Chain A
Amino acid sequence: MMKQIVFLITLVIGFLAASQMAFAGGGATGFINAGTFALVIELGVALFVVFLAWIVKDKLKIGIPKLLQGVFIWIAAYIVFRVILQPPIPFTLLAVYMGIITIAIFLYCSIDPDSWEQFSEPIRAMLQDDTGKAKAYRYVTFTALPLLIGFGTYSKMVPKFEEPVELRTVHPAPPASINVHGEIIDLQRVLNPFRVDNEGKYLDVGKEVGDFKNNPFAEDASQYLKNVKEGGEIFFGTAGCMFCHGDNLDGKGMFAFAFNPIPANFADPGTIAQLQENFVFWRVTKGGPGVPRETFPWASAMPPWEKHLTKDEMWKVILFEYWHTEFFPRTFGS
């Protein structure tokens, strides 16, 4: 019973690690679909592995030595983290995950003396036995291990062409107020003046959902949708946002491949869906050069749009971005 519990815990840890990574990877490249998708795949793989283990052990009655089991799981995990998961994860993260896996395997194998006995048996045999087989294993291990570790040290030490690790804050804290075209705008209070209903009254966030599937080009479109349409025409025409943020607002526009950091992916739940509309307004008006040091103002190709667009146009673009991605801006309380 104990074994099963440990096994389950291992599974859950591995699964959480993998899913978190899938999400992180998804967020970094702006693929919500890939993120959730990866999650489902991880779950599928985990279930499949359990099922396969059950088939092999209980049904086909094939016993795999404990040590070999551990090695298999370790290698399988490495392949998943290193090869299958795309985009590749940084080495430091890989090291952490493989560390967790290693501990989990040792925990699983040393849960009771019997199990530990089974696990360490091949190692003991390799060291102690006098059979020809044991001797062969001994010679191989005793030569391979120092060579491998020596080579590993060498490849760690030899100078390499590597980028420095630079960690960038994606959503920095906004200022309390900003000055746009001579007007001081209180970022705590300002509301999108184009989020309005047909009577011109402010449309509470969430109420626009009925228009998400409606045609902004239709003649009977609501006032909200008409504003969305103007926003879309600015996004695609006047401003040309799609060159970077993409025709589907997924951050994969024509110039995106050339830029680092890559343009924000609005279709990902980690960007505008996490932000208040006025935060987005701040980022649009002040662009790359307007962010604090931790967000790398020197590297972002985002223009300060106050130089090119009116305030109204910027608000309409923001309205359009939420309509197109079908996200709601974040609100706090009333």
Chain B
Amino acid sequence: MKIRLMKEAGNKGVTLFSRIYLVLFFMGILVAGGSSVTLAQNPPPGAYKPSVPSAEDVAAGKGIYFKKCVWCHGADGAGNGASVKRLLTKPRNFNQGTFKIRHTASGQLPTDEDLFLTVKNGLPGSAMPPWDGILTDQQIKQVVAFVKVELVKDRKFDDPDEEITVIDYGKQTPSSEESIARGKEIFMTKAKCVECHGVEGRGNGNLTQKDDWGFPIFPADLSKPWNLRGNRRDPYNPQNIFREISTGLNGTPMPSFHDELTPEERWDVANFVMSLSHHYPIDKETNKPAISFVIKGKFVKEGDTPNDADDPKWDALEPQYVGMGSQIIQPPRHFLRTVDDIRVRALFNDKELALLFEWSDRTESHRDENRPAIYDATALKSESFPDVEYTTTNLTHEDDEQAGPMKGVRPPEVGTYNDGIAIQFAQAWQNLPSPEKPYFVHGDVKRGVDIWKWESDGTVKEMEGRGLEQVTVRESSNVKVSSAVWKNGRWRVVMKRAIETEDKEKSAQLEKGKNIPVVFFAWDGDAGEHDGKMALSTYYYLMLEPPVPTRVYVVPPIVAGVVLLLEGWAFYTARKRKREREGAVKE
């Protein structure tokens, strides 16, 4: 219809100008629709006056709030919705008007744009999701209006005494070795960032701090920028870091360095912080590093597999990102895993496989009944909400008569446990009819698994799993750990095993060029993790690089030769036809 209308218009002699305009109009629609460019721009630096929302917007925002937001932020906006007892980063209590991610000076209220962008992009690493694509920009503005007017109670956005100053980004210093070196110097000495964030930025400094509401709070792990709350779904952009250094995070121990550091110095620190992470490509669906489900094992041509994590042989491989969730399926259910990813590398030769596991862990934990765990659920209480039971690991119905066979099962929990890492193979995986596998959480009754587990007390076990409740340590084990070092908030563990072992039934046998199903598990003893209370991945495949067969080098040249012959034939016939045609013309 549209086409026809335009055609008629065109026939009536529309000018070239209007035609170009139409093209641009169409392109504009496509660009506007196809990109996720935010409509809100940062306000200019200097004094800022927040808008006064209309009563209609506040009313519309209330409707949205009680459908989407209330479950976490609570009916009064006090951050005490139903989810509060399950989360480690608690939902924001709006009542005090304390907001972390802002463009405004320390302690000040945020701009409208800040709140809009927080709702739109979410707060990565917390439960707050990006509402982009779920709520329209209009709806986000409405819900922000409702929060500003009705739920921020202790301060008022229209209070003339509320001073709001937007920070100035100044002139951005592009990242360079010099800038990073200067930033590092400031990070380590002048600004003392290192005291909380640690030497390599993994947040392993001061772990005993609390936020304004009395909840324990832990320094950010700067080596995972995709988890930083204020990353605005653009995790490798140093602007976000510059902003947070400049404004501080209200309500948290993170101060503002606006007066201590010049803008140039803050840019240098931001560039240094960005250099602390491995820049994986980001998956737009999850806003986390893109995951490849095949772990690539590389063949070591000369010498042995490395015993040490520092061995340069590992440099031949990228550390592969493996996402970790919590074991929430069976008792002891666990919502609070602190290891949200591990990095895996695999090298092998004809004799053995060597796996390098690396993961962030703020503390080196060892079993100690007398030392309370840092992330212990009972320690995560706050005086602000005395009536909320802050348990993150309990069963939902320990004593309920109705609630199934698991009632009453609750493991005793005392003190700190060992850190640990494990990889799980299916027993006799070669014989399983594809795509069948054992249950990913330590196997099932029918299909057993072979688990290789290391713990921070130095023990290395090979276990047989037939379900979470039926894990037995095997007496003969071929698994070794040649090196396990915790340094600067990170474990690096090298685990080894022979490619083939004697017990073909219970021990997984490795084969080149096959997709070997594996699952990863990790334990943080300071989150009270042990046995089934753990972080876990989903199914991955380990593939040991197969040798390249000779035919790969023989067949392609033959194919190319055949194509060449065909070309010759086509050329010959075409020329022949041409000659014939010309001959016919002459006659």
Residues of A within 8 A of B (CB): 29, 31, 33-34, 37, 40-41, 44-45, 47-48, 50-52, 54-55, 58-59, 86-87, 124, 127-128, 138, 141-142, 145-147, 149-151, 153-154, 157-159, 161-164, 166, 181, 213, 215-218, 232-240, 242-244, 246-248, 250, 252-260, 267, 287-289, 293, 296-299, 301-304, 306-311, 324
B563 A145 Cβ-Cβ under 8 A:
yes
Tell me the minimal C-beta distance from B463 to chain A in angstroms: 18
A243 B328 Cβ-Cβ under 8 A:
yes
- Please judge, given known A-B contacts A157-B552, A257-B291, A307-B405, whether A164 and B435 are in contact too, CB under 8 Å: yes
Tell me the minimal C-beta distance from A322 to chain B in angstroms: 13
A309 B397 Cβ-Cβ under 8 A:
yes
- Which residues of chain B are within 8 angstroms of A250 by Cβ–Cβ distance? 129, 134
A163 B563 Cβ-Cβ under 8 A:
no
A47 B403 Cβ-Cβ under 8 A:
no
- Which residues of chain B are within 8 angstroms of A50 by Cβ–Cβ distance? 3
Given contacts A138-B571, A244-B325, 19 further A-B contacts (CB under 8 A): A29-B285, A40-B33, A44-B26, A44-B29, A44-B33, A48-B27, A54-B7, A54-B10, A128-B578, A149-B559, A157-B555, A248-B131, A252-B129, A252-B285, A258-B323, A289-B444, A297-B439, A299-B538, A307-B403
B2 A47 Cβ-Cβ under 8 A:
yes
Closest 5 CB pairs of A and B: A150-B560, A237-B82, A258-B323, A255-B325, A257-B286
- Which residues of chain B are within 8 angstroms of A246 by Cβ–Cβ distance? 129
State A85–B302 Cα separation when bound (angstroms): 44
- Which residues of chain B are within 8 angstroms of A311 by Cβ–Cβ distance? 402
State A86–B538 Cα separation when bound (angstroms): 23
- Which residues of chain B are within 8 angstroms of A138 by Cβ–Cβ distance? 571
State A289–B546 Cα separation when bound (angstroms): 34
Q: Is B213 an interface residue (CB 8 A)?
A: no
Q: Is B329 an interface residue (CB 8 A)?
A: yes
Output the nearest chain A residue to B88 by Cβ-Cβ distance: A254
Q: Is B532 an interface residue (CB 8 A)?
A: no
- Which residues of chain A are within 8 angstroms of B333 by Cβ–Cβ distance? 303, 308
B86 A240 Cβ-Cβ under 8 A:
yes
Option from A233, A235, A240, A258 in Cβ contact (under 8 Å) with B537: A258
A308 B30 Cβ-Cβ under 8 A:
no
Q: Indicate the member of A37, A151, A257, A260 with the most B CB atoms within 10 Å.
A: A257
State A74–B22 Cα separation when bound (angstroms): 26
A149 B560 Cβ-Cβ under 8 A:
yes
Option from B67, B83, B515, B574 in Cβ contact (under 8 Å) with A124: B574
Q: Indicate the member of A34, A59, A215, A293 with the most B CB atoms within 10 Å.
A: A215
Q: Indicate the member of B128, B331, B437, B440 with the most A CB atoms within 10 Å.
A: B440
B134 A248 Cβ-Cβ under 8 A:
yes
- Which residues of chain A are within 8 angstroms of B48 by Cβ–Cβ distance? none
- Which residues of chain A are within 8 angstroms of B557 by Cβ–Cβ distance? 150
A164 B556 Cβ-Cβ under 8 A:
no
Q: Is B192 an interface residue (CB 8 A)?
A: no
A296 B325 Cβ-Cβ under 8 A:
no
- Please judge, given known A-B contacts A298-B436, A301-B328, whether A247 and B133 are in contact too, CB under 8 Å: no
- Please judge, given known A-B contacts A157-B552, A267-B134, whether A232 and B82 are in contact too, CB under 8 Å: yes
A51 B6 Cβ-Cβ under 8 A:
yes
State A58–B7 Cα separation when bound (angstroms): 10
A59 B19 Cβ-Cβ under 8 A:
yes
Per-residue CB contact flags for chain B residues 282-301 toward chain A (1 = under 8 Å, else 0) read 01111010011110100000
Q: Is B543 an interface residue (CB 8 A)?
A: yes
Q: Is B551 an interface residue (CB 8 A)?
A: yes
Which residues from 507 to 536 on chain B have a C-beta closer than 8 Å to any C-beta of chain A? 513, 515
- Please judge, given known A-B contacts A34-B133, A142-B564, A257-B286, whether A159 and B396 are in contact too, CB under 8 Å: no
Tell me the minimal C-beta distance from A175 to chain B in angstroms: 18
A44 B30 Cβ-Cβ under 8 A:
yes
- Please judge, given known A-B contacts A51-B3, A233-B71, whether A147 and B396 are in contact too, CB under 8 Å: no
State A308–B404 Cα separation when bound (angstroms): 7
A-B pairs with beta carbons under 8 Å apart, 12 shown: A33-B134, A150-B556, A150-B557, A159-B513, A161-B292, A164-B434, A232-B71, A248-B131, A256-B286, A259-B538, A302-B329, A324-B67
Output the nearest chain A residue to B406 by Cβ-Cβ distance: A307
Output the nearest chain B residue to A288 by Cβ-Cβ distance: B329
- Which residues of chain A are within 8 angstroms of B169 by Cβ–Cβ distance? none
- Please judge, given known A-B contacts A217-B75, A267-B134, whether A157 and B556 are in contact too, CB under 8 Å: yes
- Which residues of chain A are within 8 angstroms of B19 by Cβ–Cβ distance? 55, 59
Tell me the minimal C-beta distance from B437 to chain A in angstroms: 5
B567 A150 Cβ-Cβ under 8 A:
no
Option from B63, B335, B404 in Cβ contact (under 8 Å) with A243: B335
Option from B26, B34, B323, B538 in Cβ contact (under 8 Å) with A51: B26
Per-residue CB contact flags for chain B residues 326-344 toward chain A (1 = under 8 Å, else 0) read 1011110101000011000
B538 A260 Cβ-Cβ under 8 A:
yes
- Please judge, given known A-B contacts A41-B34, A51-B26, whether A127 and B129 are in contact too, CB under 8 Å: no
State A41–B559 Cα separation when bound (angstroms): 41
Tell me the minimal C-beta distance from B513 to chain A in angstroms: 6
A59 B403 Cβ-Cβ under 8 A:
no
Q: Is B541 an interface residue (CB 8 A)?
A: yes
State A47–B30 Cα separation when bound (angstroms): 11
Q: Indicate the member of A58, A153, A240, A250 with the most B CB atoms within 10 Å.
A: A240
Which residues from 50 to 108 on chain B have a C-beta closer than 8 Å to any C-beta of chain A? 62-63, 66-68, 70-72, 75, 81-86
B538 A308 Cβ-Cβ under 8 A:
no
Output the nearest chain B residue to A128 by Cβ-Cβ distance: B578
State A213–B63 Cα separation when bound (angstroms): 7
Tell me the minimal C-beta distance from B541 to chain A in angstroms: 6
- Please judge, given known A-B contacts A40-B33, A45-B30, A146-B563, whether A248 and B515 are in contact too, CB under 8 Å: no
- Please judge, given known A-B contacts A159-B513, A238-B396, A298-B437, whether A217 and B66 are in contact too, CB under 8 Å: yes
- Which residues of chain B are within 8 angstroms of A304 by Cβ–Cβ distance? 329
Q: Is B8 an interface residue (CB 8 A)?
A: no
Tell me the minimal C-beta distance from A58 to chain B in angstroms: 8
- Which residues of chain B are within 8 angstroms of A308 by Cβ–Cβ distance? 333, 395-397, 403-404, 406
Q: Indicate the member of B22, B82, B405, B434 with the most A CB atoms within 10 Å.
A: B82
Q: Is B279 an interface residue (CB 8 A)?
A: no
A255 B556 Cβ-Cβ under 8 A:
no
Output the nearest chain A residue to B293 by Cβ-Cβ distance: A163
B538 A164 Cβ-Cβ under 8 A:
no
Q: Is B414 an interface residue (CB 8 A)?
A: no
B82 A236 Cβ-Cβ under 8 A:
yes
Tell me the minimal C-beta distance from B405 to chain A in angstroms: 7
- Which residues of chain A are within 8 angstroms of B548 by Cβ–Cβ distance? 158-159
- Which residues of chain A are within 8 angstroms of B286 by Cβ–Cβ distance? 252, 256-257
Which residues from 392 to 432 on chain B have a C-beta closer than 8 Å to any C-beta of chain A? 395-397, 400, 402-406
- Which residues of chain A are within 8 angstroms of B437 by Cβ–Cβ distance? 298-299
A236 B403 Cβ-Cβ under 8 A:
no
- Please judge, given known A-B contacts A149-B559, A237-B82, whether A162 and B294 are in contact too, CB under 8 Å: yes
Tell me the minimal C-beta distance from A227 to chain B in angstroms: 15
Q: Is B438 an interface residue (CB 8 A)?
A: yes
Q: Indicate the member of B285, B326, B437, B555 with the most A CB atoms within 10 Å.
A: B285
- Please judge, given known A-B contacts A146-B564, A306-B404, whether A161 and B294 are in contact too, CB under 8 Å: yes
A153 B578 Cβ-Cβ under 8 A:
no
Which residues from 204 to 234 on chain B have a C-beta closer than 8 Å to any C-beta of chain A? none
A240 B328 Cβ-Cβ under 8 A:
yes
Option from A51, A52, A181, A299 in Cβ contact (under 8 Å) with B402: A181
State A157–B68 Cα separation when bound (angstroms): 51
Option from B6, B323, B438, B543 in Cβ contact (under 8 Å) with A161: B543
- Which residues of chain B are within 8 angstroms of A34 by Cβ–Cβ distance? 133
State A315–B294 Cα separation when bound (angstroms): 39
Output the nearest chain A residue to B539 by Cβ-Cβ distance: A299
Tell me the minimal C-beta distance from A240 to chain B in angstroms: 5
- Which residues of chain A are within 8 angstroms of B444 by Cβ–Cβ distance? 289, 298
State A59–B286 Cα separation when bound (angstroms): 46
- Which residues of chain B are within 8 angstroms of A252 by Cβ–Cβ distance? 129, 285-286
- Which residues of chain A are within 8 angstroms of B86 by Cβ–Cβ distance? 236-237, 240, 243
